[in-house]
Amino acid sequence: MGGWLRRHIAARSNGLQRLVVRDKHHVARDVYAFELVHPRGRRLPAWTAGAHIDVHTAPGLVRQYSLCGDPRDRSRYQIAVHRCTPSRGGSDAMHDAVHAGDRITIGMPRNRFALAPDSPHTVLLAGGIGLTPLLAMAETLSASGASFELHYCTRSPLHAAFSERLHERRFCGRVLFHFSNTVGRAAFDSLLAAPQRGAHLYICGAAGFTDAALAAAERQGWPAAHVHTERFSAPPGPQADSAQAAFDVVIASTGRVVPVAAGQSALAALHGAGVAIPTSCGQGLCGTCVTGVLEGEPDHRDHCLTDEARAVSFTPCCSRARGPQLVLDL
């Protein structure tokens, strides 16, 4: 097992926490904020801006939510949940079934969207609920005195989460709101023109928002290595023949062969065969289901693994095989 995969599994398996929902309140239309604390008032595990937690919203249902508080404050975790339409269950459960005083199970903070160290300038580009990880970044950058700007794009002021917080003095002159129902959509080419040498760009929002911002960043000459994104949903997948081809997965510890039918995910086939693999997003975004590969060539479809990680693992929820068989480290 590669070093990256060992670290990933250790992080994924590093226990769960039962926290108390100390507060739940509206912060924008269709958005609730939740404040989570230790039941005995203890300090919570440290985290860094851009991190998320797995939240067990209902039996068998796990969703990822970005931490949006100040990482220096270890007395609480803050998350915000937008009710999706249609919902896959997570946002409905958080809005309708979770209340102040309830206890909720979460995983340890994980970060695949971290701030680059020593950036001379940082541009944060948020669309809707995509504000949440970028808000924590703004807190960190503000506290350190770093140069940054946050562009927050929403439909209207009613849809702008944490508006009062963003108008506080520490963010004065650093936060710009863009409301599409009054001035139209943000002009990404203008916002991202003439990037400062060494600057980093962070984008988080819906698929159309993210794709448009990425296209503008490329047109304006932002180096690809300095552009970072976090997505809510996966972009359209490839249309190659391997996209739907059947293949087999072999469980290395037992030699058992599990057929994966055309159009079926490897994860679904494994679950159907009684093989327990943790899962959450089902789109290759969160990394919860990452599994080691010992033999065979995966056809990677995820949006979470690095090149290093892809050399030793794959995401069975969305990725497939380029050949007839994969041997999994299970």
Beta bridge partner(s), residue 250: 257, 327
In this predicted structure, the answer to whether residue 210 has a pLDDT above a threshold of 80 is yes
Q: How far is CA 258 from CA 11, 143, 176, 251, 310, in A?
A: 27, 52, 52, 8, 22
pLDDT score, position 234: 59
Selection from 8, 97, 104 nearest residue 54 by Cα: 104
In this predicted structure, the answer to whether residue 66 has a pLDDT above a threshold of 60 is yes
Who has greater pLDDT, 1 or 169? Answer: 169
* Amino acid letter for position 235: P
| C-alpha 161, offset from chain centre | 18
19 within 8 A of 103, measured Cβ to Cβ: yes
In this predicted structure, the answer to whether residue 2 has a pLDDT above a threshold of 60 is no
Query: Which residues are within 8 A (CB) of 306 and not within 5 positions of it... i.e. 6 or more apart?
Result: 4
DSSP summary character for residue 136:
H
In this predicted structure, the answer to whether residue 287 has a pLDDT above a threshold of 90 is no
In this predicted structure, the answer to whether residue 9 has a pLDDT above a threshold of 70 is no
82 within 8 A of 60, measured Cβ to Cβ: no
DSSP summary character for residue 50:
T
pLDDT score, position 90: 80
The 3-state secondary structure of 262-273, one letter per residue = CCCCHHHHHHHC
CA dist., res. 49 & res. 301, Å (int): 26
Strand residue runs (E) in the chain: 16-28, 31-37, 52-58, 61-66, 77-82, 103-107, 122-127, 148-154, 175-179, 200-205, 227-231, 247-251, 257-260, 291-295, 298-299, 313-314, 320-321, 325-328
Q: How far is CA 231 from CA 9, 24, 31, 85, 284, in A?
A: 22, 25, 18, 17, 10
Report, as an integer, the average pLDDT of 241-248: 75
Report, as an integer, the average pLDDT of 256-263: 93
* Complete domains list, the chain, with CATH: 17-107 (2.40.30.10), 122-231 (3.40.50.80), 245-328 (3.10.20.30)
24 within 8 A of 107, measured Cβ to Cβ: no
Query: Which residues are within 8 A (CB) of 321 and not within 5 positions of it... i.e. 6 or more apart?
Result: 242, 245, 247, 249, 260, 296, 297, 298, 299
Based on DSSP, count helices (H) and strands (E) in the chain, helices before strands: 9, 18
Residue 68 has a CB neighbour count (10 Å cut-off) of 27
* Listed range (90-99, 102-111, 237-246) with the worst mean pLDDT: 237-246
CA dihedral over 40, 45, 47, 52, signed as positive or negative? negative
pTM of the model: 0.80
- Which range has highest mean pLDDT (6-15, 80-89, 114-123, 305-314)? 114-123
